[in-house]
Amino acid sequence: MKKNIILLCITFCLSNVFSQQEKPNVLIFYVDDLRAEIGSYGSKTAITPNIDDLAKDGVQFNKAYVQQAICAPSRMSTLTGLRPETLGIYSIFTPLRKVHKEIVSIPQFFQKNGYKTVSIGKVYHHSIDDEQYWTHHFKKENNSYVKPENIALMKRLKASGKKSIKGPAYEDADVADEAYKDGRVSKYAIETLKKVKDDKFLMFVGLSKPHLPFNAPKKYWDLYNKNDFTIPSREKPEGMYRLALSKWGELKGYYGIPQKGDLEDDLTRTLIHGYHASISYVDAQIGKVMKTLNELNLRKNTVVIFMSDHGYKIGEYGAWCKHSNVEIDVRVPLIISRETNYKKRKKNKISNALVENVDIFSTLVDICGLENAPITDGKSIVPVLNNPNKRWDKAAYSVYARGKKIMGVTTTDGNWRYTEWRNSITNAILESELYEHKSSLLSFVNLSGNKKYKKVEQRMKKLLEIQFPRDKPFLQNDIPRKR
């Protein structure tokens, strides 16, 4: 009898040890164009119950930053752990593997370590990147319309030969979720989870909304009253560099959007309405996937990450979209919820530590206990996950190029943002900007050169030069776009 009890104890202890050593699965919701204003981040308008639940079940980072506010470079940076200035790619036109065949990416490394690697929807901007390193690959779908009048319009536009004209900037058809591509993304994710449930997996669920066009089922538009949305101030920051903001050509490329001047109030409200409907649509897809994860009893050994590739402007500063170094474009939502069998797991915690999307690769390697990982520009933030109040980095960094000749480099310490616009060849400073962001994503006065803030600017300048020294030229691997 005693021998049996001893054997049972040994078996239990060994199973405990093995379960603790078991490498976790990884599920990442990678969202496009989502700014750090959703329910759990204090938004007064965005309805995001499923994302909010995930925040309650993990650590929410209030000071998370991307390395460039544009899709392709930002996603490459996340998936390689290398900054845009390391990769030398600053535009959406250059696929990663066209210039970097030697770099080891997240899917490549995890596949090598025995994981099933899954890419669904928009993960890389260019679906051809790392195709061979995804064991399950559902490519990013093109935008589509389902309203008969918009389908007819698209046929007319195509027949006209005007290739540069896109369809309408929004649509609200009364259809099921799967009529639009993000609904199909969640469907594929659920189906794939059921296939890989007995394997070790790394799954990226790439949700395209709230990227333009704001196409979402009518029921998500119906969650909001258009007239409840206020028109953001169109005032531009006093003393802002003339090229700090883009001319938001991305939005102007859509049918029916005026090419000059500010958008009038009614259209502004409609687009803000569409942006919010798209967020709630994405939130619902996340809820479906999380429900399946729990039903399959996978949550106990699956770390879940929710993140965005960059922020977004919906009329602030009289501008739209991203493509800049301003705070609202580079600060993003980031939520990490550890697997439920992780002993040090933290729930419903907020961290104000400065972290960056470039840290994700190293963090995943640490969480999964993998060895011989490639050297990256980021570092594991597991210590912050274990202690959300831990003091961490002094600064976060981003870049934005204006063509081949001008490079904008920027840093934040969490309260202040300092930006230098430099000649890309000589590194000569053309102009500088200093903005206060202690309590807001927006700031309306450039304080650079103001004697009252001289010490702040000097300190921020030193922080900037740690990452962007004046004697180091910018690497340019971008291949010019063919015309």
Residue listed under structure tokens 């995001």: 48
DSSP string across 411-442: EE-SSEEEEEEEETTT--EEEEEEEE-SS-S-
- Helix segments in 197-320, DSSP class H: 218-221, 249-252, 265-295
327: enclosing H helix or E strand: helix 327-330
Q: Say if CB 370 and CB 113 are below 8 A apart.
A: yes
Q: Say if CB 399 and CB 409 are below 8 A apart.
A: yes
Taking every pair of Cα atoms in the chain, the longest distance, rounded to a whole number of angstroms, is: 87
DSSP string across 23-68: PPEEEEEEESS--S-SGGGT-SS---HHHHHHHHTSEEEEEEE-SS
Measure the CA–CA gap between 290 and 286, rounded to whole angstroms: 6
**Other residues' Cβ atoms within 10 Å of the Cβ of residue 427:** 17
The answer to whether residue 125 is catalytic is yes
Q: Say if CB 328 and CB 35 are below 8 A apart.
A: yes
Measure the CA–CA gap between 46 and 224, rounded to whole angstroms: 9
Task: Point out the catalytic residue in the list 71, 211, 273, 323.
Answer: 71
In the chain, the amino acid numbered 43 is S
54, 145, 277, 437 from 218: Cα distances, Å = 25, 13, 8, 36
Task: Point out the catalytic residue in the list 9, 13, 100, 125.
Answer: 125
Q: Which residues are catalytic?
A: 71, 125
